Amino acid sequence: MGKLMIDGGVPLSGEISVHGAKNSSLPLLAATLISAGRSVLHNCPQLSDVDTACRILEHLGCSVQREGDTVTVDSSEMSCSEIPESLMSEMRSSIVFLGAIAARLGTARVCFPGGCELGPRPIDLHLSALQQLGLEIQDDHGYLDCTVHGRLKGAKISLSFPSVGATENILLAACTAEGETVINNAASEPEIVDLANFLNSCGADIRGAGEQSILIRGVDELHSAEHWVIPDRIVAATYLSCAAATGGELFVRNCCPEHLDSVFPVLEEMGCKLIVGRDSIYIRAKSRLNPVKMVRTMPYPGFPTDAQPPIFTLAAIANGTSVFVENIFENRFKHVSELLKMGANIKVEGKVAVIQGVPVLSGANVRAYDLRAGAAMVVAGLAAHGRTTISDIQHIDRGYERIDRDLQQIGARISR
């Protein structure tokens, strides 16, 4: 298992490109199951989570080929409806395959998913929604045996929380269900819009994606399609944080700036100069950042929980006191213990963290406890004096395509 070694204190400068969105690629790969044909996804990142999704597709009987950032899935020979525990346990979002398998074969057997330990992320919303569409679910000692008699049936589904995964599962299951499905309090993240756009290009009839209410008119079948995955907004936010942490100057290319509208005010409050283009963001940071009064993570279009750890790290070296409130995940402050090792001054009580910025962090041996905590450790290592060694980087590789290679290109002293 590898490690990342960073010799910090070097301002980053230059240009860096953003790869395709992990959180779009996974449901899009699941969606290829429904079309029963040969679908092509471009800008699909080479990440361990994407590799797991491709192995799930192959286990189910699909042919999967990758050439660069293009993945081709032929699901015409799909025959298996069960995902083994060895694959389900590798990532939390594997549950999104349930709706697609049930829609295609009328039966599915999966276990409870794995992934980052961020506290309770129950799949009850997923299961309840699919049951409302007519899926019968039996718990068999940790496995879920799911069947539907005939076709799934459209329904009016009101989510108690705008869950991204539950919204995706409903879209996948309902696009070929009989009749109309309405999702109230749906998630509105860009990844939801990306999935709906792909399904519509396959012949689905989905309206309102990106809004709180989505209408899906079921069709008899879908056909294959070609699609370009949207850029990863969290990777873009991470690279902006890397530049800000080092007092650097950076162009972030191949991104969707409108997906980061809630992040820009925080960076500007910290004293960063931003110039936002159509598909690029320029950032120039101060040598010492300002504190930020308060950041609250919220469902989109609010401040994203996935961007909280890297931007939180900026507050650790800001000139004053900042407050972060985490409203999405219970255990989203796992980076705090590692920042403390590096000399940060942070107090956490429940979902609130108070950060008193220090003049400088010091290099240390730290761990990437989960994907975004790992990103925070990279940001901290770039800002710190001395060498930072990050272990458990398999978490980082779940969401960043060779982050060390990308950062080397803009001046970071980082090696794997």
Query: DSSP characters for 295-327?
Result: EEB-STTSB-GGGHHHHHHHHTTSSSEEEEE--
- Between 3.60.110.10, 3.65.10.10, 3.30.465.10, 3.40.50.300, what CATH number should domain 4-19+231-415 receive? 3.65.10.10
Q: Is residue 36 exposed (0-12), middle (13-18) or buried (19+ Cβ within 10 Å)?
A: middle
Is residue 22 within 8 A of residue 230, CB to CB? The reply is no
How confident is the prediction for the chain on average, in pLDDT? 95
- Judge contact between 191 and 27, C-beta under 8 A: yes
Residue 115 pLDDT exceeds 90: no
| Contact criterion met (CB below 8 Å) for 173 and 151 | no
Q: Is there a shared CATH topology between the 4-19+231-415 domain and the 22-228 domain?
A: yes
Annotated binding site: 22-23, 92, 121-125, 306, 328
The H or E element spanning position 67 is strand 63-67
- Our answer to whether residue 255 is catalytic in this structure is no
| Strands laid side by side in the 136-140 sheet | 107-111, 143-147, 136-140
Assigned token pair, 287: 């040598």
Which three-class secondary structure state does DSSP give residue 262?
Answer: coil
Q: Out of 116, 146, 175, 202, pick the active-site residue.
A: 116
- What is the rounded average pLDDT of the residues 282-286? 97
- Provide the 3-class DSSP secondary structure of residue 31: helix
Which has the minimum average pLDDT: 82-96, 141-155, 354-368, 390-404? 82-96
Q: CB under 8 Å to 164, separation ≥6 — which residues?
A: 23, 187, 189, 191, 192
256-269: string of b/e by CB count within 10 Å (b at 16+)? bbebbebbbebbeb
- DSSP character for 289? P
pLDDT digits (tens, 9 = 90+) for 36-78: 899 999 999 999 999 999 999 999 999 999 999 999 999 999 9
Question: Can you say which residues are annotated as belonging to the binding site for phosphoenolpyruvate?
Answer: 22-23
Looking at residue 93, what is its pLDDT? 80
Feature table: binding site for UDP-N-acetyl-alpha-D-glucosamine? 92, 121-125, 306, 328
Q: What digits encode the pLDDT tens for the residues 355-409?
A: 999 999 999 999 999 999 999 999 999 999 999 999 999 999 999 999 999 999 9
Q: Give domain 22-228's CATH architecture.
A: Alpha-beta prism (3.65)
- Residue 122: the pLDDT is 65
Q: Which tens digits make up the pLDDT trace of 313-339?
A: 999 999 999 999 999 988 889 999 999
pLDDT in the model for residue 114? 55
**Inter-axis angle of helices 164-174 and 97-105, nearest 10:** 10
Residue ranges of the domains in the chain?
Answer: 4-19+231-415, 22-228
